Amino acid sequence: MLVIVAPGQGSQTAGFLRPWLADSTLAARLEWLGAVAGLDLAHYGTDADDDSIRDTRIAQPLLVATGLVAALELFPRPAEAFPTVGAVTGHSVGEITAAAGARVISAEQAMVLVRERGKAMAEASATTPTGMTAVLGGDRDEVLAAIKEHDLTPANDNGPGQIVAAGTLEQLEAFAAAPPAKAKLRPLSVAGAFHSSHMAPAVEHVTRLSRSVSVHEARTPFISNADGSVVRDGREVLTKIVGQIARPVRWDLCLETMSESGVTGILELPPAGTLTGIAKRYFRGATPPVETFALNEPDQIDEARAFAEKHGAA
């Protein structure tokens, strides 16, 4: 069984789109999506520095557009791909990429939604100084207890050994002063406490807009970050995506669902590496083994198609 996954904010690096834009067709597709979002995505994906593309208002549309362009290159005839792909999902904003890939929403709808999502989350982040800290290692129960003790939110539960705490900077400083035993803390370079109650204003804004979005039943099963459930109803998919802005990302439950569904291959859309890395740790020693493929350059497309065909038939 093949699962296609789309990465979330933080996976982008300066110049990562340069090899893709060497192809005029791919460049034209990105230009169109950038026009919908009102951003020069080619510039941000090639010449802009890391600080510029760290901006939530830039990073989120850039990531979704990249995933959509790569997915269409991987599957030029999407209708033929639906029987091949066992499920789709994405981490955080990657869910919008996945929803478009499953044909719940169009590419243009995806770009409008992510544009407004990025703006709203940036505005919500500006109201109170907040942030996020990755907790690596330690006993899971002790880590969660420490996060709760400091009134923080376990905003990203990425599976064994990696939970991200979100809250005010004061809360995070107190947490850093008394970390869980045997755990390492790594402050993240993000604008605010994503996937926590601090993002409630963004949910309100995007919810209003989403009511006017026409949706379709998912052509491919969609695995939700909210609880790892498999969703096909288009309105439910969109509702979960919007609500998830202020709710924790339960990537651990998405991985459980993949495992229970019999996944044998996980292909990550660009900029790839983060989610395949998590999957390698999670599925280490699994029987049968679960293979991963990190798609980062157009030169890998033929190999990626072979990987998809191999696991799509499993």
CB atoms within 10 A of CB 125: 21
Q: CB–CB of 2/290 below 8 Å?
A: no
The helix/strand/coil state of 116 is: helix
Q: What is the largest CA-CA distance in the chain?
A: 54
Helix axes 56-74, 94-101, angle to 10 degrees: 30
Which residues, in sequence order, are CB contacts of 245 under 8 Å at separation 6+? 117, 120, 121, 194, 195, 199, 202, 203, 206
Q: Is 92 assigned a catalytic role? A: yes
Catalytic position from the list 92, 125, 196, 210: 92
Alpha-carbon distance of 68 to 37, in angstroms, equals 13
Q: Which candidate, 102, 97, 89, places its Cα nearest to that of 3?
A: 89
The helix/strand/coil state of 286 is: coil
Q: CB–CB of 7/185 below 8 Å?
A: no
Catalytic position from the list 11, 91, 150, 195: 195
Q: Is 195 assigned a catalytic role? A: yes
Which active-site residues does the annotation give? 92, 195
